[in-house]
Structure 1
């Protein structure tokens, strides 16, 4: 293989020769600096090249070129991955961010989204036809990353996971072949994609089942002082028994600027009129929140409500666990104390959060864990940590604290990411919140063995290896 600049100049010419308008950016190219930016600054790496893909054909040609020249690569959709799997130092980035077309079939109620779309693209276009599908709770998240790892959203209580509403994908395999995967075409690949898709190829389009959503929804944030934890936990326990799938609450701790004082945040969702929502959430309003930002809004605005808390500056890390309801207020208070003590000892960490994602899971557990690769289905809710900081020297300390806090909190579900404690069905960890230091067994449970077999079938040389490893062996690229 020649020098890196020579190689990527060749790739640029090969793509142009096929009539492609894809761009190949190298460190000396205009726009390169912007192309390597990521949602988390600690995931930004200086790739040798970034290929701004415009079509599935571009993906195929780029993959074949990378294979022939033994060039490591990663795939970037929305760029939100805090595991760093969408960035690379020693190779190229296949960047899908220019592929953002969304097509709606109003008769079939289907929504087709290209591989580089973000959830805002999908929500806005689907709303033109009075439709919606299960998408992320932050609308600048990439459709690809969230979908391939499972996908929870405000509509999960009614329609299940994003992958439960996925009808088919078009995917470019490691060989460069473009295929369709669905229940009728390559069904074993479709099984694998729904939960572990990032390990099998580059998805250039997703087709989702849409659902009627013509009416606005009641949603927004309430802010409480920590002294209100007993009332909040009591309501969460009540919510577990009284919701009908048309409601959700995301609640947890933060210490946002400018005060940087600990507060309890609650994000409410009610798919119905304000009068019914106010009655359902009456206990919370009676608890006298410090701030009330709830209102009726169009559905397509719903997934933008948390954007202000999830901006692109700073270093960030997700972590995941599980919790069961009912919870004991004293236990929640102890978690708040641990969280607050850590955040207050470090500067500029106030936008960090520990979040109890109380999204109804009845529809989720109706699908057997063996139905697809995704294995986080059980009688529990997701717990998420999102730490945000600015000093690189804190990277390791924050990673270890996050693990410990989530381990403590997850004891309520009978799972502490330890094989000795396993009282629940399902793995108790959401793959999209995990980092690459976990094993395939932790994320995929009993499905891990079948995934390894399919990995050998569809990606025998393990080209797609920069995320969670399904096979315990190094990359072996064959010309």
Structure 2
């Protein structure tokens, strides 16, 4: 395996004059910053970091990787908690210098390079009165969220991020630069929408944009835990009451400085203040101890949760599914389990269990076989985001997160039978599946078989082998 500094000096020569930066551990602070990640437990000491500035840089680097059999990963926004954007002793293809966003106001399209974050997209699109479906935290990478599906505040109105993806530019394992869309390399485009990280490096995304009036009604309500039954009751009504222009993210945490248990409700209405106030009146009247709802510019919307998603500490996502209505007593039992665990450990107050009540009518309007993404069903996502500082707790927290999500997901009744999954969805959002040993069938359901076929076509040597274990179909030799 070629991994000595001399080998990477050769790569540096190959990329000379391209604008790319090739960083190694002896490059000091530049290198140290290049291996920083949103979660500290995902920071690993790569032997080399290539900060690409063009698809040609990526192609050259992939050719070098193949020739020298070097293990590698791709970094977009660096927001994953699975560690799939970091590597010990290997090479990182870092897209963070490729953040340009351009808007075609006549076609209403938004083009974002592979290293862009959602803040880049939101701000540029807003200059033209447009928006597209992005994440709820704006320092999340466009690439990671999109390739795994993408839920956001506008999902209720326009579906998933991938439902609004028009095309991608990508570099394949072979080094070839291609475009994939409904009319060009359509099978690859099918795979990219949900499993893209398994097929190549996406260097640009083109999204459908929509006229977006400003401002919007949004913000956080903070309640004491005794109000939890009332919040559950409001969520139960939300299921039938919303018209796709609303979203409700609610759950529990123990945030600093007091680390006291609270229930949080993030409210969103895409419309006027009077409309939003009327829709959420029952929740506001329940008596929050803090009300931070206001009319905010759309491009600021996805920054509202940023303070709860800072860059310090170790973090881990986990995900499951739930259906409404929920029994308030059941949710109170989950809350008690969550509090018992968090209170038994130091500095875990910023952890969160979140019920993502984002309308899914537009999501389920697209069949699961339409693209690789297979989490479409009559249920919502429930997520954990645990934050801690002691590395010795890694395994314990992973185990607890799994058990808590399994209990929370009991309400969904999502079938594990593969034939049913094709209709109802897998009940597991791929972007929340942080364990490397999660089988492809749990993320892609009955789509996994076709993905294996396409993997054989586009990446037969399994160069892109990080994350969900999607492997090429093996050739059967008949004598």
With over 3 angstroms needed to count, the CA separation of the structure-2 counterparts of 1:428 and 1:268, relative to structure 1, is same
Which position in structure 1 is the counterpart of 2:130? 131
The C-alpha deviation readout for 1:293-321, integer Å capped at 9, x for no partner, is 00000000000000000000000000000
Q: CA deviation at 1:419?
A: 8.0
With over 3 angstroms needed to count, the CA separation of the structure-2 counterparts of 1:172 and 1:2, relative to structure 1, is closer
Equivalent runs, 1:366-445 vs 2, <5 Å: 366-415=365-414, 425-435=424-434, 436-445=436-445
Q: CA deviation at 1:190?
A: 0.1
The C-alpha deviation readout for 1:37-66, integer Å capped at 9, x for no partner, is 000000000000000000000000000001
Which position in structure 1 is the counterpart of 2:21? 23
Q: CA deviation at 1:322?
A: 0.3
Q: CA deviation at 1:466?
A: 1.2
Tell me, what secondary structure is at the counterpart of 2:73? strand
Q: CA deviation at 1:36?
A: 0.2
**Partners of 1:172 and 1:416 in 2: CA distance:** 36
CA contact (8 A) 1:414 1:421 kept: no
**Partners of 2:104 and 2:422 in 1: CA distance:** 44
CA contact (8 A) 1:42 1:392 kept: yes
With over 3 angstroms needed to count, the CA separation of the structure-2 counterparts of 1:421 and 1:200, relative to structure 1, is closer
In the superposition, the TM-score normalised over structure 1's length comes to 0.96
With over 3 angstroms needed to count, the CA separation of the structure-2 counterparts of 1:336 and 1:3, relative to structure 1, is closer
Which position in structure 2 is the counterpart of 1:226? 225
Q: Verify: 1:211 aligned to 2:213, yes or no.
A: no
Tell me, what secondary structure is at the counterpart of 2:92? strand
With over 3 angstroms needed to count, the CA separation of the structure-2 counterparts of 1:216 and 1:423, relative to structure 1, is same
CA contact (8 A) 1:73 1:93 kept: yes
The alignment covers a number of residue pairs equal to: 472
Equivalent runs, 1:260-299 vs 2, <5 Å: 260-299=259-298
Q: CA deviation at 1:26?
A: 0.3
Which position in structure 1 is the counterpart of 2:160? 161
The C-alpha deviation readout for 1:145-174, integer Å capped at 9, x for no partner, is 000000000000000000000000000000
CA contact (8 A) 2:59 2:177 kept: yes
Tell me, what secondary structure is at the counterpart of 1:112? strand
CA contact (8 A) 1:256 1:351 kept: yes
CA contact (8 A) 1:353 1:385 kept: yes
**Partners of 2:39 and 2:171 in 1: CA distance:** 27
Tell me, what secondary structure is at the counterpart of 1:175? coil
The C-alpha deviation readout for 1:118-157, integer Å capped at 9, x for no partner, is 0000000000000000000000000000000000000000
Q: CA deviation at 1:437?
A: 2.2
**Partners of 2:345 and 2:294 in 1: CA distance:** 35
Tell me, what secondary structure is at the counterpart of 2:329? helix
Tell me, what secondary structure is at the counterpart of 2:468? coil
CA contact (8 A) 1:41 1:314 kept: yes
Which position in structure 2 is the counterpart of 1:112? 111
With over 3 angstroms needed to count, the CA separation of the structure-2 counterparts of 1:320 and 1:336, relative to structure 1, is same
Q: CA deviation at 1:407?
A: 0.2
With over 3 angstroms needed to count, the CA separation of the structure-2 counterparts of 1:301 and 1:8, relative to structure 1, is same
CA contact (8 A) 2:415 2:426 kept: no
Equivalent runs, 1:237-252 vs 2, <5 Å: 237-252=236-251
Q: CA deviation at 1:423?
A: 12
**Partners of 1:103 and 1:185 in 2: CA distance:** 22
Which runs of 5 or more structure 2 residues have no equivalent in the other structure?
475-479
CA contact (8 A) 1:120 1:140 kept: yes
Q: Verify: 1:188 aligned to 2:211, yes or no.
A: no
Which position in structure 1 is the counterpart of 2:457? 457
In the superposition, the TM-score normalised over structure 2's length comes to 0.96
The C-alpha deviation readout for 1:275-300, integer Å capped at 9, x for no partner, is 11111101011101000000000000
Q: CA deviation at 1:417?
A: 6.9
Equivalent runs, 1:44-59 vs 2, <5 Å: 44-59=43-58
With over 3 angstroms needed to count, the CA separation of the structure-2 counterparts of 1:238 and 1:309, relative to structure 1, is same
CA contact (8 A) 1:45 1:88 kept: yes
With over 3 angstroms needed to count, the CA separation of the structure-2 counterparts of 1:423 and 1:284, relative to structure 1, is farther
With over 3 angstroms needed to count, the CA separation of the structure-2 counterparts of 1:3 and 1:142, relative to structure 1, is closer
Q: CA deviation at 1:258?
A: 1.2
CA contact (8 A) 1:413 1:424 kept: no
**Partners of 2:214 and 2:283 in 1: CA distance:** 24
**Partners of 1:392 and 1:377 in 2: CA distance:** 35
**Partners of 1:416 and 1:288 in 2: CA distance:** 38
Q: CA deviation at 1:416?
A: 8.4
Which position in structure 1 is the counterpart of 2:234? 235
Q: CA deviation at 1:2?
A: 5.7
